[in-house]
């Protein structure tokens, strides 16, 4: 095949790929053509592989979403699409040059443009994006199939990928349920914290202000109790940051840390800071943390916008890439990132047990949750985790989830030295365990002022930007004004949805036209800039359920079934959104009132 022909085929295929899978197109364009020529590709049999297709049938059965490992020359993928015209395919080719050679050699536009080829990814870097799309759209489960080449050559790799997919989906589901549980709290906190965030410095403003320091981060696990006296000794030499409820244990011992950090958004967190002493230290708060705490703290506050707080990002005009703190399931994760942002080169963990050594939940002095409730959790702890002494502690799924997140954070911050001094806690990969006595000897020559953070704030007073306040307030007001029109559009759409099932059976042409109108109205409703940050935060599970159905609705050819699906899924979602609008209006009115008081 001559070079001109190759270029033509590649160009035709790339055009189709660019329209539907721009992530794949950009990877293909970055590959070196000379390497592609030397690359040993695998070939699929041209004739139908009936034995393999029978195995595929056993894996897929009646499952609606199919993960296909391998693209090859597209022959196996095309066979699956032909066999299952009502399924969605998520296809992953690990070998980028294999894919480049295929799309350079064969005109694959009809395959690449097939509506049931829902997502395509190539190479290691795109695997997580495929996991995400599969998790968003899969129903109860996902069928996992692989091309014969990979079944024969890379069985271990396939098992590993399948496990990673299941793990990713578990995390995704857990995050969705967490968002669902706290959705109203998060929106309320984000909107009510807006005024405080416009009138206080962010952690970004303090970047590297304590470069080269050591930071001690206290968590509230039972091991903190054994070493809490050491905090008084290390305080002149290292930055002491109290993460979450550990502030209670510190103030009970008369210790005021350099900085306290709060992240949790529930009202239970108000109890952590109920004593006046807990609010004496400078306070770093997350954009979705409980607003009642910051309402009582009138000076020395610093804020951070979380990576998963799309509401604050939208109204404050912050790009995702500008967000300093990545969300983790524990306040310790936020405290670690804050320490690194301040310039710490070494982070020391205390009280980070992530388990129940001695069948205890918290260090003494931590009392925001009933003792009987904690005792019940400890008693029922179903799991075991290796501790720093090579023995095992009782623990639970929640702590293991936090442990996993922290270990990922340590890996991401590989230039930082992490030391774990937690006397009896879980062993943490990415840290070195040392007793506090040894760590004290390491830092005794270092020096940190008693009110280091407060001094930085005094030396760099925050200047309120009136223009920014007006801009943010205007954006919030614009959304508030739009709510009435938004609700009206939803109600008009719902009225049409109410008729389509009957029309599909009696007046098919009228039903078809109504479905076109519904799709146009829905496209207009979701095209609002504020829809994704607000509605997806407010109704994560409901939006997730609809996202899973939408592609199946789009490919449904039977008019009656299509009408039933739209009535059931879009009708349900639209009604749930309409029900939430009055609550949103109240939150937005209060947010504006708070901004007016700055």
pLDDT digits (tens, 9 = 90+) for 546-587: 887 888 898 888 999 999 999 999 999 999 999 999 999 999
545 pLDDT exceeds 90? no
Specify the range with the lowest mean pLDDT, choosing from 186-200, 263-277, 415-429: 263-277
- pLDDT value of position 315: 97
Which pair of structure tokens corresponds to residue 436? 């506090």
Phi-psi region of 106 (alpha: psi -120 to 50; beta: other; left: phi over 0): beta
pTM more than 0.85: no
What's the average model confidence in pLDDT over 129-155?
79
Residues 511-515: contacts with CB under 8 Å, at least 24 apart? 511/559, 511/563, 512/559, 515/562, 515/563, 515/566
Residue 242: in which H helix or E strand, if any?
strand 239-243
Token pair of 396 as six digits: 């639970």
What integer best gives the mean pLDDT of the chain? 89
Residue 161 — very low, low, confident or very high, per pLDDT cuts 50/70/90?
A: confident
Average pLDDT (256-265) is 95
pLDDT at 575: 95
The rounded distance, in Å, linking the Cα atoms of 236 and 240 is 9
397 pLDDT more than 90: no
Q: Encode pLDDT of 400-455 as tens digits.
A: 888 988 998 998 899 999 999 999 999 999 999 999 999 999 999 999 999 999 99
pLDDT of residue 102 exceeding 60:
yes
Alpha-carbon separation of residue 20 from 24, 114, 138, 346 (angstroms) = 9, 10, 19, 45
At a CB cut-off of 8 Å and minimum separation 6, what does 511 contact?
500, 503, 504, 559, 563
CA 524 to chain centre: 27
Per-residue pLDDT, 3: 46
Count of all residues that appear for the chain in the document:
598
Among 572, 576, 84, which residue's Cα sits nearest to residue 564?
A: 572
- Judged against a pLDDT cut of 70, whether residue 333 lies above it is answered with yes
The winner for highest mean pLDDT among 162-166, 176-180, 541-545, 569-573 is 569-573
419 strand-pairing partners: 348, 432
- Angle, helices 571-596 vs 466-506, to 10°: value is 170
- Per-residue pLDDT of 4-62, as tens digits, reads 455 688 899 999 998 888 878 888 988 887 787 778 888 888 899 999 999 899 888 88
Residues 496-539: tens digit of each pLDDT: 999 999 999 999 999 999 999 999 999 999 999 999 999 998 98
Burial of 464 (0-12, 13-18, 19+ CB in 10 A): exposed
Q: Which residues face 88 on adjacent strands? A: 65
Mean pLDDT of 307-321: 91
Question: What sign for the dihedral angle of Cα 488, 491, 495, 497?
Answer: positive
User: Which value, in Å, is the radius of gyration of the alpha carbons in the chain?
Assistant: 28
Q: How far is CA 2 from the centre of its chain?
A: 47
- Identify the weakest region by mean pLDDT among 2-16, 193-207, 363-377, 540-554: 363-377
Residue with tokens 């995704």, as numbered in its chain: 172
Structural contact between residues 270 and 185, judged by C-beta atoms closer than 8 angstroms: no
């Amino acid at each position: 095949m001559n070079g001109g022909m190759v270029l033509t085929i590649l160009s035709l295929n790339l055009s189709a790929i660019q329209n539907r899978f721009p992530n794949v197109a950009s990877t293909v364009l970055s590959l070196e053509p000379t390497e592609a020529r030397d690359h040993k590709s695998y070939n699929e049999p041209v004739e139908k592989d009936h034995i393999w297709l029978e195995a595929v049938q056993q894996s897929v059965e009646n499952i609606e979403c199919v993960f296909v490992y391998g693209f090859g020359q597209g022959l196996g993928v095309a066979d699956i699409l032909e066999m299952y015209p009502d399924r969605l395919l998520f296809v992953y080719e690990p070998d980028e040059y294999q894919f480049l050679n295929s799309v350079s050699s064969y005109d694959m536009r009809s395959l690449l443009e097939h509506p049931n080829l829902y997502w395509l990814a190539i190479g290691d870097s795109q695997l997580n994006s495929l996991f995400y799309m599969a998790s968003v759209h899969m129903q109860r489960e996902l069928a996992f199939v692989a091309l014969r080449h990979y079944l024969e050559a890379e069985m271990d790799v396939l098992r590993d990928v399948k496990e990673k997919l299941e793990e990713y989906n578990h995390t995704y589901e857990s995050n969705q349920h967490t968002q669902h549980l706290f959705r109203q709290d998060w929106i309320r906190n984000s909107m009510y914290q807006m005024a405080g965030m416009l009138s206080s410095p962010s952690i970004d403003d303090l970047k590297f202000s304590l470069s080269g320091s050591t930071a001690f981060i206290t968590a509230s696990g039972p091991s903190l109790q054994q070493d809490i006296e050491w905090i008084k000794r290390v305080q002149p030499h290292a930055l002491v940051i109290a993460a979450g409820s550990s502030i209670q244990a510190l103030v009970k011992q008369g210790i005021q840390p350099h900085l306290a950090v709060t992240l949790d958004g529930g009202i239970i967190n108000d109890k952590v800071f109920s004593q006046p002493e807990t609010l004496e230290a400078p306070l770093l708060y997350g954009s979705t943390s409980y607003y009642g705490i910051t309402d009582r703290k009138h000076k020395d506050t610093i804020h951070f916008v979380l990576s998963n707080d799309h509401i604050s990002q939208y109204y404050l005009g912050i790009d995702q890439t500008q967000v300093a703190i990545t969300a983790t399931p524990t306040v310790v994760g936020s405290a670690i990132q804050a320490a690194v942002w301040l310039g710490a080169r070494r982070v020391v963990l205390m009280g980070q047990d992530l388990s129940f050594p001695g069948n205890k939940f918290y260090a003494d002095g931590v009392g925001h949750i009933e003792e009987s409730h904690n005792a019940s959790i400890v008693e029922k702890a179903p799991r075991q985790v290796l501790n720093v002494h090579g023995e095992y502690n009782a623990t639970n799924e929640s702590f293991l989830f936090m442990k996993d997140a922290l270990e990922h954070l340590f890996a991401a911050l590989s230039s930082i030295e992490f030391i774990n001094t937690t006397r009896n806690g879980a062993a943490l990969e990415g840290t070195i365990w040392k007793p506090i006595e040894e760590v004290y000897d390491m830092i005794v020559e270092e020096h940190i002022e008693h009110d280091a953070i407060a001094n930085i704030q005094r030396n760099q007073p925050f200047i309120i930007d009136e223009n920014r306040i007006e801009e943010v307030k205007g954006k919030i007001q614009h959304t508030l004004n739009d709510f009435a029109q938004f609700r009206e559009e939803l109600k008009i759409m719902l009225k049409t949805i109410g008729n389509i099932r009957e029309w599909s059976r009696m007046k098919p042409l009228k039903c078809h036209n109504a479905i076109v109108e519904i799709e146009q109205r829905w496209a207009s409703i979701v095209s609002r800039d504020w829809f994704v940050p607000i509605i997806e935060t407010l109704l994560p599970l409901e939006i997730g359920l609809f996202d899973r159905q939408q592609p199946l609705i789009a490919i449904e050819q039977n008019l009656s079934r299509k009408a039933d699906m739209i009535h059931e899924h879009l009708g349900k979602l639209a009604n749930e959104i309409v029900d939430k609008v009055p609550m949103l209006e109240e939150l937005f009115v209060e947010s504006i009132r708070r901004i007016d008081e700055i």
